[in-house]
Structure formats: C-alpha cells, structure tokens
Structure 1
C-alpha cells in the first residue's frame, strides 16, 4: 500500500506513506479477517496499525476504531494520538478532533476513533455499534472477552468487508499466546518463520476455539460458514524496522540491556519464557564490598509493609526495608536490609527508629512507603507521614506486577552494576532474591525494587550538589 499525502504550499510537495518491505508490508497486504502483528519490540507495529485505515478514508460510511488499554496511552506525549498526528497531518480532508473522543474525520466520509478498554465494563459503550475496522494496539493487554465481544461489533454497510488488526509483544501467560500457538514453536517459544503470514481458519463455539487448515475443513465438521474467520500471525523484530535502526541505532543496545526475561520477549520475540528462579537475580552477578564507598550522593530506602499482622499460619508477617545508594561513578550499592516479623504496632516503631538511624548515619535518605489503594490506604499513608515528621518521606501507590517492578533493578544487577556491602543479612537476602518470583516471601525484593525506582525515577533529587524535593515528597521540620 502506498499513500501520497499532498501538502498545499507555495511549492507543492508530497509525502509518501508506505510500509517497509518485509513483515510490515505483509501485515498490510493480508486479506485475513483477523491479523496479529508483532512479537518483539521495535518492529513498527503501531505505525503499521495507523497506516491500515488510510486505504479507505475516502469511503463513505467507513468507521474504524483503534483501542489502547488506557486513556493515557492515547493522549500521552508520543502516544497513539501524537503518532497519528505526525502521519495524518497534510492528508487532504483530514480533520483532527479531541472532543468528545479523539478521532480523525476524512473528507466528511470516513471516521477513525481512538478509545480505551480498561475494564470489561467499558464494552457497554459499544453496544449496537457497527465498526468496519477494529484495531488493538498491544493485544495482550486486553482480555479475551474484550476481544471477542468487539469482534461481534465488527460489522459493515459501507461496502468494505469488516476486519480486525492487532499488534502485540510476547506474554507467555496471556490468552493471545494460546490463540497464536500454531505459529509459535512450543519448544523454543520463537515464531516459526515458515508459518509467519500463513492463514488458518477458526470458529468459536461455546467459548471454545476450533481450528482448521482450510475453511472447508471446518464446514465439513459441521461449522456454519458464517461463523468462520480467517486468522494469521505475522512475526516481526527490531531488525525488520530498518528506519528505526538507522534513526536510533542505540535502541538495540537498550533492548540487549534488559533483564533476561524481558530481553527474550522484546528482542527475540520469545512467547514461552516466564519469570523463574534465578532469572532475575544471582549473587555471582554483584560485587561484594567490605567498606562503604565515599562517593554516594543519593540515598533511598524502600519499604514493604506486611499486608496483614499475621500470615496464614498465624505467625507475624514480614516487613522489609532496603537501603540503596547511588554512586557518582554510576553504580548502585545495597547498604542495609531489614527483614523482621513484627506486629502492626511494632512495625511503626521499627520504621521510626530506622528513619532516625538512617538520618544520623547517611544524612538525607528518602524513605519510600507503599500506599494501599482506597481511602484506608490514604489514611494510613498520612498517619505514617505525620509520625515521621522531620524526615523525607514518600507514600506512593504501587502499580504493575512484582515482576515488572523488579525488572529495572534486575537489569543493572545482571549487568554487574550493583555493589553489596558485606553484612550478616547477605545470606537471607540473596536466598530470597535468587528464588524470586517462585519464593513464598517477596518482601525484600519488593523493598529493593521500591528503593531503586525511587532513586532512578523519583523527582526528589536531580543531580549531585542539588537538594530538590519532588512534589510527592513530604518534608516536616
């Protein structure tokens, strides 16, 4: 597909929008009812999804929608709306509108909407809709119910056969991994090159998907012809995106620097790899040091508070606090780890005493506490902040899985950029980290993740020699 975008100026110029040869071109050329594209980062997936509706923008009655999981992923800087603007501006008759929904109207004939499906309840907004083209950006972020419900809205009266296009990165635990299993080597987890772009046929009967190599095979098994959809999966990797490789050659290095699990998924497109013990942290990957370095310019202690005062056996639950320092040489050092089984009242005393000790020994230390969701969580956070008057304290909600929160520190750990101070807490600390995420207890891992994220992403300190408090910090004198 080639689309020429005319720009009306004193001297007429044109901009050609076309897919790159290879998987992106194959994705835009397929006639399958459902086509899923991707399997690794940097393959030009979103760009391909935005190109797809351009072929029909002058077709009267053509209605299209591209979904993201959250509203922020649409309107954030560099998000779906920004990407569409950079592509569509200059197309004759293209009118962008942000209210009531983000959408493009083309020559008063076709409309492309951008919307989100955060929860299954959001599906109610699409009851009775007729949508010619439905796109899912990052399909693994959506539930199976969301996908198949919207498939029932995939109808058309404009003369264009209704169709669905989706992009995704690998997720071994997602329903998408099961859906495209035929295109994936189940031993290695990598896409089968010879099957990429091959079309198969499916029907969903009583929530079960029945597959056939041909449409006739399903008809012969008793499936109604109108219930059959053609499906294909087209694999791509960063190497297929020549334009990105040329514009940002460092992106490959960024992917190689990821922790093992994420590197396998996002660089190599592995659909089978899962987080397992030893894949995040190994004690042999850090440098053990006997004395505290003198070049630490930023401190943060992350806390993981016991969710309940007792575990399922009636024993006190663990509370952990991990102190990490950032060195001027660019390395990180883990200086102190607390891991105790305490009652709720004892936890408060422990945190107060630790804040006092941290301030006396290291000066300015950011104490980061988790904030549970809901009003009760906010009230607990405010209670801690009030109790810790005189210290730099943050109480922030945690988002994402424990594994995703652990990945930033794990990447530096695996790269050998972390030092650990020799102390009596080393052995239980290493034991828990090396068994993560399969271990029963993950409190020290969570506290470590929290401290590292605060150092790298917190707005509380900008550079050596400054002393800036971020907007989410609480400073009491």
Structure 2
C-alpha cells in the first residue's frame, strides 16, 4: 500500500487525537474532509472496523470532489481493491472493514439507522446538522473493533450548538485559542445541555453527578485548522487565499481566520457605510479622542473604549482604538498612555456620568496640554436615538477606516454592523464612541452656512460647540 502523507499541524493533530469526540476545523481549506479520510485509512486493517460518514444531503456525498470521490481516489492511490455499492453508498475494504455513507435528509433517517453499530462516526460539515441528529448518532457508537468507538465532526464557524460546545476554546474576540486547541476536556450532558470540565471529578463537585454515572463521561476536544497549514492545497491552488480575501471583512474573518463571531443580520449599519483610507490624515481640522467607560471590570461587564479621530471638512477618520476590561486604576493608566501616544489630539471627550465623570477629573489632573470635555447625555436620550442620529449623519459625513490597522478596522466593523435597533447585540461600547464622534462632526457640518461652504473653517465651527482647536502644520 502506498504511503499517505499526514501534513504537520492541523491534519497531524486530528490524526493523533485520542478524544472520544472531537470537533475539528473552522477555516475553509484547512483539509477537514481529507483528515476524515486519513482516519478511515489508518483503521482499515481491522475487519470489524465500521465507519459511518454523514452529510446533510446525498448530493453533498456524490458531488465532484465530494467525500465519495475523494475516498475512492485515496483507495486507488493506496492500491486498495475495494468493493463499492453506489446505490447503498457503501465501500468495503479487502480486510472486511466497511465505510457507510449516509445523509440526514433521508426521509427515514433515524429508522434507517436503528440497530446499526459504528466504530467511528464522522459528521462532515457538522454546522449543517441539528443538535438532535448529533445526539442520536452518539447512541450508534458501539463496536467489536479493536479501537474504542469515537466521533469526529468537521465544521466551519457558525452559530448554534457546535459553537456552544467549543466556547471554552475561544477567546473574547471569538477566535480559537491556539494553546487550548487539542486539549482534552470531559463532556457530560446535564438536562440535555453539554457541559465541559477540565477534570472528571468536577462533575461530582459542581453538579453532584452520581459515581455510577461517571463512566458515561466522554473525552472531548476542539482542533482549529487554517488554510496556511494545508501546504498541499496551496501548492495546487496558490490563489486560494486571495480568493478568500475577496470576501467581506466578516466572511473573510470567518472562513479565512476561523472567527466564530455572529455575522451581521439586520443591523442598522452596513459595511459599505464605511470607506477605507491609507496613510495618516494630515492637516485635519481637528484631532479628538472619544471615551466610553465601563461601570466595572468584571468579565461580563462592558468594555472601556477609547477611539482617536480626525475631522477634515465633512470627513471622519478613525485613527486608533483601545479596548479592554480593567480595574479603575488600570483603566486610568491605559487611558493616559493612549492619550499620550496620540499627543497630537486637541480634545478628549468623556461621558460625564459615573466612572466617566471620575476619569474626566483624573485626566485633567494628569495631562495639562489637552482640553478635556464632558459629553452630557440627556437621561431620556437612548442609545437607539444616538444611533439614529449617527445613521442620519452618515448622509453628509463620510467615515473612513484605516486599511493598515486591520485589527482595529475588523473589530470596529464587527460591532457596528451587529448593532441592532432591538438592542439584541452583544457589545456597543465602540459604537458609543463612534456615535459621539460622528454626531459632533455632523452637528458642526449642519451648522456651517451653505454660502460659505468653501471658506468656512470647520475647526472654528466645532470651537463654538465648546472645544479648542490646535493648529497643525
């Protein structure tokens, strides 16, 4: 049999994985489906090996380049004389090992699988499956083979049950934590919900699980993959990454970088509301910072955000941004450092309530050559009203985001495009600082007399609103 090559990185991690259940993949082009084929090939010498591979639809199995075609191609490469039954979607290897393909859209899917036993169950593109199908297939894992029955699920980032299961493997920005990928945790379903623990004993301590039920705890892991680890694909298709980069920022993050955040649905702001700029916006009329503070530093509280902006006629440029969750002392230090790093600004605007009011006084005492202004919000002025004001101002203010500061641009767009009128979005702290900046500029632009459009100095207009202009050469 010809020797197959397991590529270092993602494919090797999946190949060597010992967990009972593993969710693998994330980014497109990582080699997820091929990793499943390698799983089959490493076990085909066992005559009792029975593998079920499932897709959502039959056509997904039989399509050009699909799993059926790929499996037969690898078998031919390995010089294996297999028997195939295309009607039953079954492949039998010389040892007697069997691979059975199936699809969840079969009209009698559960009835069809009743009584079946599988050594391995592979769910390809698991994000297309319902959670109930996943749980049903777990119950089909029993076998006379030499190895312990196990399950592998390939997936692209999505919302739903898969994301809930791998949540401990994601950071606050919802990207995979590379140090945790492949780390084995323990899985048990309580009240039909998957619970993950670092130690088996934690189920006894935290959930009062009966000792006799401990044997039903399964090992679980998540292994993230990247197209950059799939050297073979990039050799054959060097343009593949460039193709993924043509996607929108959100889709590019999801399918190229394995981001698990929610794609914008019915948000108030769209990605095409914003333009891109390069370099630094020189000779702007104003440079300012807007700050939105969180009440507390707990992980479940809001972020504190500072954004640095340039005003130039009717254009607003995002220059820099800082976001984090800190104690007050640490937050103040970060804000001072951010302002000093952007020392060309002439004014800093901070909301004048609670933490913001305290920070405003401390900043005035710490930094003397910049004017600090409070932003007063009426008690009845809702966040939605300010968002609507910002949306209206987009009609006569053009907003530019930095091309070279990719991380800043992505985080900004993710939050703004997710901002919804029903306030169902996760975060809006960056949005708050944006609303302050564009509404300040929008007010200034609207106050500018039309007959003096060509000669009016915008810095003087904003000066009349209670800010100070600094001259930049």
Provide the TM-score with structure 1 as the length reference. Answer: 0.55
Residue in structure 1 matching 2:217, options 222, 228, 232: 228
Q: Secondary structure at the match of 1:118?
A: coil
Find the counterpart in structure 2 of residue 239 from structure 1. 228
Q: CA deviation at 1:285?
A: 6.0
Q: Bigger CA drift: 148-157 or 97-106?
A: 97-106
> Deviation string for 1:266-304 (max 9, x for gaps)?
011100132143775525669xxxxxxxxxxxxxxxxxx
Report the 3-state secondary structure (helix = DSSP H, G, I; strand = E; otherwise coil) of the residue aligned with 1:83. helix
The reply to whether residue 178 of structure 1 matches residue 188 of structure 2 is no
112-121 vs 231-240, greater mean Cα deviation: 112-121
How many Å apart are 1:90 and its aligned residue?
A: 4.3
* Secondary structure in structure 2 of the residue aligned to 1:41: coil
What corresponds to 2:272 in structure 1?
282
- Cα 1:30–1:242 shift into 2, 3 Å: same
Find 2:8's aligned residue among 7, 16, 21: 21
For residues 216 and 92 of structure 1, do their structure 2 counterparts lie closer, same or farther at Cα, with a shift above 3 Å needed?
farther
2:311 alignment counterpart: none
Of 257, 261, 272 in structure 1, the residue corresponding to residue 261 of structure 2 is 272
Deviations along 1:398-427, one digit per CA (max 9) or x if unpaired, are: xxxxxxxxxxxxxxxxxxxxxxxxxxxxxx
Cα RMSD for the two superposed structures: 2.5
Encode CA deviations 1:26-80: one digit per residue, 9 max, x unaligned.
1110110011111101101100011102122121221101111111111111111
The runs of 5 or more residues in structure 1 that have no matched partner are: 6-14, 287-433, 441-477
User: 1:158 maps to what in 2?
Assistant: 145
Tell me, yes or no, if the aligned pair for 1:58 and 1:110 is still in contact at 8 Å. Answer: yes
SS in 2 for 1:16: coil
Instruction: Say which of 178, 184, 189 aligns to 1:204.
Output: 189
**237-246 or 89-98: which moved more?**
89-98
Within 5 Å, which residues of 2 pair with 1:293-332?
none
Residue matched to 1:52:
39
Give the whole-Å Cα distance in 1 for the aligned partners of 2:201 and 2:5.
Answer: 35
Tell me the secondary structure at the aligned position of residue 43 of structure 1: coil
Gap change, CA 1:190 and 1:119, over 3 Å in 2: farther
Change (3 A) 1:209 1:435: closer
Alignment: residue pair count: 278
Gap change, CA 1:111 and 1:235, over 3 Å in 2: same
Cα pair 1:41 1:266 within 8 Å, conserved: yes
Cα offset, 1:164, TM superposition: 0.3
Structure 2 CA distance, aligned partners of 1:49 and 1:218? 31
Q: TM-score, normalised by structure 2?
A: 0.55
Structure 2 residue 205 is the aligned partner of structure 1 residue 216:
no
Rounded Cα–Cα distance in structure 2 between residues aligned with 1:275 and 1:144? 23
Residue 245 (structure 2) pairs with residue 250 (structure 1) = no
Aligned-partner Cα distance in 2 for 1:279–1:17: 49
Q: CA deviation at 1:214?
A: 1.5
Instruction: Work out whether residues 39 and 236 of structure 1, in 8 Å CA contact, stay in contact via their aligned partners in 2.
Output: yes
Q: Is the 8 A contact 2:253 2:259 kept in 1?
A: yes
Distance in 2 between residues matched to 1:33 and 1:50, nearest whole Å: 18
Checking the alignment, whether the CA contact within 8 Å between 2:117 and 2:141 is kept in structure 1 is yes
Distance 1:72 1:273 in 2: 28
Partner of 1:352: none
Match 1:189 to one of 174, 177, 195:
174
Please give the per-residue CA displacement for 1:378-400, whole angstroms capped at 9, x wherever unaligned.
Answer: xxxxxxxxxxxxxxxxxxxxxxx
